[in-house]
Amino acid sequence: MRKNTIDIITLGCSKNLVDSERLIRQLELNGYRVTHDSENPQGEIVVVNTCGFISDAQEESVNMILELCEAKEEGRVKEVYVMGCLSQRFMKELGHEIPQVDKFYGKFDWTELLNDLGKAYRADCQYERRLTTPGHYAYLKISEGCDRHCAYCAIPIITGRHQSRPMEEIVEEVEHLVGKGVKEFQVIAQELTYYGLDLYGEQRIAELIERISDVKGVKWIRLHYAYPMNFPWELLRVVRERKNVCKYLDIALQHVSTKILAGMQRHVNREETYELIRRIREEVPGICLRTTLMVGFPGEGDREFEELKEFVRWARFERMGAFAYSEEEGTPAQKNFEDDVPDEVKQKRLSELMDIQQGISGEVQAEKIGKTLKVIIDRKEGEYYVGRTEFDSPEVDPEVLIPVADGVLRRGAFYDVKIVDSDDFDLYGQVRK
Ligand code: SF4
């Protein structure tokens, strides 16, 4: 157990990671040494930043807390603190069930932890953070919360209403991070396209992205988590025209059947969904689309699932994730519907859908063979340098592997790479001399 050392363990999504990075910085400003390695906690204090999105994630968070409480009982850790989404949602219950935890914080009051440790929260450094990503890219959270009411989703219950950060503040953060060496920004929000509506009375995501794109030193901007209703078409112009905005859009569609979309309270139907994809592809030729789909929502019969498969074959998403519906406490779906698709059917549909997508992804990857693409190098791993093209987001998308034997490459630098081979997931390339 290392004295004056705190471990932060982050579970869940990149939005949580940004909170952890801010906390790490605050602790460092107060003289702590902070590590961020869930595999190997060494400090006398551990903070778990939890996820409460779906039951699997909740279980993972609870198991991690229990493991650390055991370490505390065995004297390997002195204090255990818990923050984040799960804690926000079930604070009372968790406090009752796991009293060994020293204190639970919600999603927004974690700053109190500093006071509880006898230190001071440095409001003057509130947007500073210690990046846990490779220094050349960072996640950029532009808002908190969500004002949509998708029937299956517990996020609005946890995070509350949508709160856009002022544009000036975001641009200032970008400038600060560029000064620290960041070149690539993964723009994130629960609902990207809503940006500005709460603060300025209108959607202003396109303007925000243009302003970030104007910051000198910003090389790549990537957009995550758009919503299909009231899509701000102006954003497509920005993606098409701006050189440093990646031709990449992560847009969660969830389903295509009008009946299921209505049950999900997504406020779009089948025709609008097809039209949206058609128009995005038309206005931004070559764009890489990532989506997330859900199988097994209440009422999904064979017919609706067939519609979904047909849509996936038609849309040819470059990237797709899918998950099975799980009933979440307090959501409209839990209150209004019976979870009527058996688990084994959900799992069967999930793997069927992923099989279709695997074939598409393999073809999409193979089409890149022979092309020369701009690649940023993230790391060296064994025999390869590992990088990404503008079509690949860290952690979730394919990577480009370049043999170390071909010569030395610099982390965070861009290279023109000729793609020479591919498998279902990754690409293999050679740097053009
Ligand atoms: S837009 Fe996303 S975060 Fe908001 S309610 Fe729907 S699924 Fe949840």
- Domain CATH for 57: 3.40.50.12160
Instruction: Give the three-state DSSP class for 214.
Output: coil
Structural domain of 390: 372-431
| Cβ atoms of 148 and 195 closer than 8 Å | no
Residue 405 has pLDDT above 90, yes or no: yes
Q: Is 132 within a domain? A: no
Report how far residue 378's alpha carbon sits from residue 390's, in angstroms, rounded to the nearest whole number.
13
Ligand 1: centre distance to CA 239 (Å): 23
For the domain that residue 380 is a member of, what is the CATH number? 2.40.50.140
Ligand 1, atom 8, lies closest to the CA of 153
Q: For the residues 301-321, what does the mean pLDDT come to?
A: 98
Q: How confident is the model at residue 339 (pLDDT cuts 50, 70, 90)?
A: very high
DSSP of 29-72, one letter per residue?
Answer: HTT-EEE--TTS--EEEEEEEE--SSHHHHHHHHHHHHHHHHHH
| Cβ atoms of 427 and 368 closer than 8 Å | yes
CA-146 nearest atom, ligand 1:
4
Measure the N-to-C terminal CA separation of the chain; round to a whole number of Å: 49
Report how far residue 235's alpha carbon sits from residue 219's, in angstroms, rounded to the nearest whole number.
18
Q: Is 84 within a domain? A: yes
**For 233, how many CA atoms within 13 A lie in the half-sphere containing its CB?**
7
Residues 102-131 pLDDT 10s: 999 998 899 999 999 999 999 888 878 999
| Domain match, 10 and 110 both | yes
Residue 39 has pLDDT above 80, yes or no: no
Q: Cβ atoms within 10 A of the Cβ of 426, count?
A: 17
Q: How confident is the model at residue 344 (pLDDT cuts 50, 70, 90)?
A: very high
CA-153 nearest atom, ligand 1:
8
| Domain match, 143 and 118 both | no
Ligand 1: centre distance to CA 194 (Å): 11
Residue 296 has pLDDT above 70, yes or no: yes
| Domain match, 152 and 266 both | yes
Residues lining ligand 1, Cβ inside 6 A: 146, 148, 150, 153, 155-156, 190-191, 227
Q: For the residues 220-243, what does the mean pLDDT come to?
A: 98
Residues 249-278 pLDDT 10s: 999 999 999 999 999 999 999 999 999 999
Ligand 1: centre distance to CA 334 (Å): 15
Average per-residue pLDDT for the chain? 95
Q: What is the pLDDT of residue 352?
A: 98
Ligand 1: centre distance to CA 264 (Å): 10
| Domain match, 292 and 420 both | no
Residues 148-181 pLDDT 10s: 999 999 999 999 999 999 999 999 999 999 999 9
Ligand 1, atom 3, lies closest to the CA of 190
DSSP of 270-328, one letter per residue?
Answer: HHHHHHHHHHHHHHSTT-EEEEEEEE--TT--HHHHHHHHHHHHHH--SEEEEEE----
Q: How confident is the model at residue 308 (pLDDT cuts 50, 70, 90)?
A: very high
Q: What is the pLDDT of residue 198?
A: 98
Ligand 1, atom 6, lies closest to the CA of 150
What the block records as the tokens of 230 is 């009231």
Residues 65-109 pLDDT 10s: 999 999 999 998 999 999 999 999 999 999 999 999 999 999 889
Q: How many domains does the chain have?
A: 3
Report how far residue 252's alpha carbon sits from residue 292's, in angstroms, rounded to the nearest whole number.
5
Q: How confident is the model at residue 1 (pLDDT cuts 50, 70, 90)?
A: low
